[in-house]
Amino acid sequence: MNQQDGGILVFAEQQNGKIHKITYELLGKARELAKKLAVPVSCALLGPDGISAWELVYSGADLVYYIADDCFSVPDEILYRQNLADLIGRTRPQICLIGATSFGRSLAPGLAGACKAGLTADCTGLEIDEDGALIQIRPAFSENILVHIKSSAMPQMATVRYREFDALPRDAARRGKVVNLAAKNSVDPFIKTIKRVRTNSTDISDAKVVVAAGRGLKSAQDLGMIRELASLLGGVVGASRQIVDDGFLSKEHQVGYSGARVKPGLYVACGISGAPQHLAGMKDSGYIVAVNSDPSAPIFSVADFGIVGDLYRVVPQMITKTKAAGAPAAAAGGAMDRTG
């Protein structure tokens, strides 16, 4: 067996035993690449007992390596790295895909090092060239250019951004195989869980409505009106990087190049200028409404509805009008999706 015989390996990230949606997107893309290369697609699922590994087969995997052990209930990079590096060493995939989630982003560099592979982070496109090599496409220089990267080291390893690729429709008739493997748990746990912290149940990337605040907001207290509008519309609060850097909101609210990529049916940008790094995270939203006091703000170039005005006057009026209109938009069945 040469080093490329293992086809394409997708890391199936799970959180609390639930497979992250990015895994299905990676499987969709992996199937397309595998067809060109005529190789199988396998999945590495590391997690506690009882995860439905067959769901990965129904969504495109030919083979699932399920390493079930409670030690994977905690996102301990060292344990994950050790087990994945071992699996990669044994199965020798040509390509290895990992979601660019928070955990994927911290796991991948160490894993690439352990496998003596290269790594292209945060890919937005993947192609196969005429030589059968993976072309890893990602934005560079603050999203101004798209670079095409080809790695000579094996496996060709990449992290891929959430919501870049489409998952395949679930097909329960798909055939495949689930192989159970024992965990290698020979290192002392690197991470010890002291207390589980409650986090927002809604991932901003999955929200149907996002109301986002930018530096036009003068103080953290003023976020109250942004939260109220978001809640009335059945959505969540987003932020530009400035707002996160200023400590008004935590990083999981950040939308953009170095934050989350969102595609809600409605995106309301309040006091956000529309820098390319922010647009990179939200420009594919269904409808974009921008509130900005500067008529030349770049956010208006992507907005479907632009309101030139002081957000301290406009947002309260939006709240009043939304209350008068009644039902929250998201509860109305995603009716604001352009395609809907």
Ligand X SMILES: Cc1cc2nc3c(=O)[nH]c(=O)nc-3n(C[C@H](O)[C@H](O)[C@H](O)COP(=O)(O)OP(=O)(O)OC[C@H]3O[C@@H](n4cnc5c(N)ncnc54)[C@H](O)[C@@H]3O)c2cc1C
Residues that bind ligand X (CB under 6 A): 142, 214-216, 240-243, 254-259, 271-273, 275, 277-278, 281, 291-294, 297, 310-312
Run of H or E including 92:
none
Q: How far apart are CB 301 and ligand X at their closest, in Å? A: 12
Q: How far apart are CB 222 and ligand X at their closest, in Å? A: 10
Q: How far apart are CB 291 and ligand X at their closest, in Å? A: 6
Q: How far apart are CB 64 and ligand X at their closest, in Å? A: 34
Closer to ligand X by CB, 96 or 291: give it: 291
DSSP-based three-state secondary structure for 224: helix
Closer to ligand X by CB, 144 or 152: give it: 144
**What are the angstrom distances between the C-alpha of 146 and each of 101, 279, 299?**
21, 15, 22
Closer to ligand X by CB, 130 or 141: give it: 141
| 126 close to 158: Cβ distance less than 8 angstroms | yes
Run of H or E including 226:
helix 223-232
Q: How far apart are CB 252 and ligand X at their closest, in Å? A: 12
Run of H or E including 9:
strand 8-12
DSSP-based three-state secondary structure for 155: coil
Cα 180 to chain centroid, rounded: 27
Closer to ligand X by CB, 52 or 293: give it: 293
Closer to ligand X by CB, 82 or 292: give it: 292
Comparing CA positions, the residue from 186, 291, 203, 315 lying closest to residue 253 is 203
Q: How far apart are CA 218 and CA 220, in angstroms?
A: 7
| 84 close to 11: Cβ distance less than 8 angstroms | yes
Q: How far apart are CB 305 and ligand X at their closest, in Å? A: 15
Closer to ligand X by CB, 129 or 294: give it: 294
Closer to ligand X by CB, 60 or 306: give it: 306
Q: How far apart are CB 256 and ligand X at their closest, in Å? A: 2
**What are the angstrom distances between the C-alpha of 43 and each of 7, 31, 118, 182, 317?**
11, 12, 20, 15, 50
CB atoms within 10 A of CB 5: 12
Q: How far apart are CB 219 and ligand X at their closest, in Å? A: 12
Quote the tokens at residue 193: 């869980």
DSSP-based three-state secondary structure for 8: strand
Cα 239 to chain centroid, rounded: 16
Closer to ligand X by CB, 103 or 257: give it: 257
DSSP-based three-state secondary structure for 210: strand
In the bound state, the residue with its beta carbon closest to ligand X is 256
